[in-house]
Amino acid sequence: MAGVSRLQYATEARLIRVMCSGRVDLEFILRAFTNGMDGVFIAGCRLGECNYITHGNYHALKLVLLCKRIMEHIGLNPERLRVEFMSSGEGILFAQVMNDFSKKVKDLGPLGKSDDIDEADVKSKLEEVTTLVPYIKMAKREKLESPLENEAEYEGFFTREEIDELFSEVVSYYIDPEKCQACMICRRRCPVEAITGGKNQIHVIDQAKCIKCGTCFEACPPRFGAVQKIAGEPVPAPIPEEKRTLTRKGKQK
C-alpha cells in the first residue's frame, strides 16, 4: 500500500517478500546481519488476523524474541531487530515504522560499532551461531510451538540466562576410531549427511555439517558405544583417510 500510495520511506531498506512472516527463519535473520545489514525489520499481518491456521505471525514474533536474546548473548544490540504487525492497507503506518527503524539503526551506527565489537569478531560470532540454528530450534522447539497469550509475556518469554545456558550446554559428537565397527547405522540416520564412512571404514563426523541433533549418539549400538558427547573441550581431529580402513579382529594376521 505504501508503494501504491507513493509514500516515502527510507531508501536504504532492501525488501524481501515472503508469503507469511512465519516463513522468516532464524537463519535468515542471522545471515542478513552476517552479510552486512545493520538492522533487520520484519513486518507481519496483525496478530490474530493470520490468513493461515498456522498463525505464522506469532511464530515470527517468538523467533524475534529468541533472536534478540541470541544477539544479546553475542554482544549485539537487540534493537537492531524489530518486528511489527499491520494490515496491508496501513501504508502510512508501514512508512512511519520504516522511517523510525531506519533512524534507530542509523543512530546505532554500523553493526558492531555501538556494540563495541570488532567487525571480524561480529562476523565470526554470527557465523558460529548460525551453524547452531538447528540445535537452537530443536532445544527451544517446545517454547516456539507454545502459545504466546499477551504482550506482557513478551519480555520474559526467553530470558538472557536461559540463552546463555543454552550455549554453555552445546555439545559436539565424535566417533571414537578405536570403537567404531563401521556398521553404518549412524551414517544412514544422520539427517544432514554429516557422517562419512563405508562398509569397512571407520566413520567420521564432519563437524562443520553436524547440527548436533544427537541421533548418531542414540543410534550407535551400545555394544560399540563409539559415538561420544564432548562438552567444554575441543573435538579431536578426525583420523586421516589412509588410517580409516577397519581391521576386524578375526581377520587380523
Name the residues that contact ligand SF4, by CB under 6 A.
173, 175, 180-186, 190, 192, 194-195, 197, 203, 205, 210-216, 219-220, 224, 226-227
Min CB(28)–ligand SF4 separation in Å = 21
Min CB(233)–ligand SF4 separation in Å = 17
Tell me the one-letter amino acid at 101. Answer: F
DSSP 3-state of 171: coil
Per this entry, what is the length of the chain?
A: 253
CB–CB of 214/231 below 8 Å? no
Between residues 65 and 195, which has the closer beta carbon with respect to ligand SF4?
195
Cell numbers describing residue 95: 512508512
Name the DSSP class of 60.
H
Min CB(50)–ligand SF4 separation in Å = 32
Q: Specify the DSSP element, H or E, that contains 175.
A: strand 172-175
Give the bridge partners for 251, in sequence order: none
Contacts of 150 (CB under 8 A, 6+ apart): none
CA–CA dist 79, 135 (Å, integer): 24
CA–CA dist 38, 106 (Å, integer): 8
For the chain, the C-alpha Rg in angstroms (whole number) is 23
| C-alpha distances out from residue 40 to 58, 59, 216, Å | 17, 16, 36
Between residues 192 and 230, which has the closer beta carbon with respect to ligand SF4?
192
DSSP 3-state of 83: strand
Between residues 94 and 135, which has the closer beta carbon with respect to ligand SF4?
135
Min CB(170)–ligand SF4 separation in Å = 12
Between residues 102 and 215, which has the closer beta carbon with respect to ligand SF4?
215
Min CB(11)–ligand SF4 separation in Å = 42
Between residues 70 and 226, which has the closer beta carbon with respect to ligand SF4?
226
CB–CB of 211/135 below 8 Å? yes
Between residues 96 and 131, which has the closer beta carbon with respect to ligand SF4?
131
Min CB(235)–ligand SF4 separation in Å = 11
Between residues 114 and 181, which has the closer beta carbon with respect to ligand SF4?
181
Min CB(6)–ligand SF4 separation in Å = 50
